[in-house]
Amino acid sequence: MTDLRFDGRVAVVTGAGRGLGRSYAMLLASQGAKVVVNDPGGGLAGDGTDTGPACDLVREILAAGGQAVASTDSVATAAGGKAIIDTALDTYGRVDILIHNAGIVRRASLKEMSYQDFDAVLDVHLRGAFHVLRPAFPVMCDAGYGRIVLTSSIAGLYGNHDVANYAAAKAGVIGLSNVAALEGAADGVACNVIVPAALTRMAAGIDTSAYPPMGPGLVAPVVGWLAHETCSVTGEVFIALAGRVARAVTAESPGVHRPAWTVEDVGEHLDAIRNIQVPLVFPVVPDGHGQHIRYSFDLAHRSTDRGVLRG
């Protein structure tokens, strides 16, 4: 099989100086992409700056014969997000691929989490996604092409202890991606979500002694495919964990329809309401929102029709 290449494509990768982002940037560059390596070089909690990680990776890519430029602006502000995308436009004249991978962690129980720590994590993960997506998206739509990969997490899907800020931000990223997928579909812009797991510095403090191999190299090919022109899906969520690649979906039970409800009725029908044996999945694109509403409306109309016939 011929290698899937990115010749002529310009990619922006946030949080690219270390860990997963570094692996993504190196893969894209090795396959011909011109890469904006974005990383302000801060600590795991978002403190401080260091130009070293971004600049070191750029030097490594250049030494290997690739093309890259460093960006040390922060995604945490609108100005920083615009500057990151402007680096791609000013240097290479276009932006074809956007991978938002930047992230920080500030752990605390929900009882004790400070507002400052909650906002700081949202600023990087969720607002940060918007800060780079907002300036890149119209450029992609005008060009008639784009591939966007936003990063969620297992915590965003299922929650986890001591990371209410992180979980909320990562869940929000999925909603943001869905809108980008819907609004970009007519212009050839695809947007999907990666839910990655790898042993990077974010695993600090976790006992990983019994973990199977979980290097960034097991995640990067999935992101590479989502970033490639042959990517055939949009508005979807992909999990990459310890060599397992899977799709995550929002599913509903068929539910129960009644023309009227009491509080007692809900309790009495709870088993049927919660029965997920035959789940409903409404794809984001082309019209999951509308399909969801039409399904419920159809049940209501059929119930009304049956009532008229009985009368």
In terms of domains, do 47 and 126 share one? yes
Is residue 121 a contact partner of residue 70, using CB atoms and an 8 Å limit? no
Rounded Cα gap, residues 192 and 35, in angstroms: 19
Pairing of strands 244-248, 237-241: antiparallel
Segments forming the whole domain that contains residue 276: 251-310
User: Across the strands, what pairs with 34?
Assistant: 10, 67
141 & 87 share domain: yes
Q: What pLDDT is attached to residue 207?
A: 75
pLDDT of residue 302: 85
Is 221 in the same domain as 288?
A: no
Model's pTM, two decimal places? Answer: 0.94
Averaged confidence pLDDT in the chain:
94
Which residues are within 8 A (CB) of 209 and not within 5 positions of it... i.e. 6 or more apart?
none
Residues in the chain: 311
Which of the given ranges, 3-7, 47-51, 93-97, has the highest pLDDT on average? 93-97
The reply to whether 168 and 256 lie within a common domain is no
Pairwise pLDDT comparison (200 vs 235), residue with the higher score = 235
Confidence of residue 311 (pLDDT cuts 50, 70, 90): very low
Give mean pLDDT, residues 110-128. 98
Distance CA 93, CA 89 (A): 4
Q: Are residues 187 and 66 in the same domain?
A: yes
Cα–Cα distance for residue pair 155/219, rounded to 1 Å:
17
If asked whether residues 233 and 258 sit together in one domain, one would say: no
- Location of structure tokens 């947007």: 191
Return the HEC string of 104-140. Answer: CCCCECCCCCCHHHHHHHHHHHHHHHHHHHHHHHHHH
Q: Are residues 277 and 175 in the same domain?
A: no
For residues 160 and 282, state if they share a domain: no
Catalytic, out of 92, 166, 211, 295 = 166
pLDDT tens readout for residues 257-289: 999 999 999 999 999 999 999 999 999 999 999
Question: E-strand spans in 123-264?
Answer: 146-151, 189-197, 237-241, 244-248, 251-252
What pLDDT, on the 0 to 100 scale, is given for residue 201? 67
243 dihedral zone (left: phi>0; alpha: psi -120 to 50; beta): left
Do residues 160 and 305 share a domain? no
Inform me whether the pLDDT recorded for 310 exceeds 50.
no
Same domain, 98 and 80: yes
Token pair of 266 as six digits:
């809900």
Instruction: Give the tens place of pLDDT for each residue, 43-65.
Output: 999 999 999 999 999 999 999 99
Q: How confident is the model at residue 309 (pLDDT cuts 50, 70, 90)?
A: very low
Q: Say what the alpha-carbon torsion angle 250, 254, 257, 261 is, to the nearest 10 degrees.
A: -60
Taking CA 108 as the corner, what is the angle to CA 103 and CA 110, rounded to the nearest 5 degrees?
110
Q: How far, in Å, CA of 211 to CA of 204, rounded?
A: 14
Give residue 211's pLDDT band: very low, low, confident or very high (50, 70, 90): confident
Measured CA distances, 245 to 59, 214, 223, 232, 240 (Å): 32, 12, 11, 16, 5
Active site residue 166: yes
Burial group, residue 259, by CB count within 10 angstroms (0-12, 13-18, 19+): exposed
pLDDT reported for residue 214: 76
What residues pair up with 108 in beta bridges, in sequence order?
163
Clarify whether residues 217 and 293 are in a common domain. no
To which residue do tokens 């049940």 refer? 299
| % of the chain exceeding 90 in pLDDT | 89
What pLDDT sits at residue 171? 98
Domain finish residue from 232, 248, 264: 248
**Euclidean distance between CA atoms 112 and 85, whole angstroms:** 36
Total domain count, the chain: 2
Tens digit of each residue's pLDDT (9 = 90 or more) over 158-181:
999 999 999 999 999 999 999 999
Q: Is residue 4 part of a domain?
A: no
- Structure confidence at residue 305 (pLDDT): 63
- Give pLDDT, residue 204: 63
Domain containing 149 — which CATH number? 3.40.50.720
Shared domain for 69 and 215, answered yes or no, is yes
CA distance 145 to 97: 9
Q: Higher model confidence: residue 89 or residue 308?
A: 89
Integer CA distances (angstroms), 115 to 120, 142, 240, in order: 8, 39, 31
Mean pLDDT for 84-95 is 98
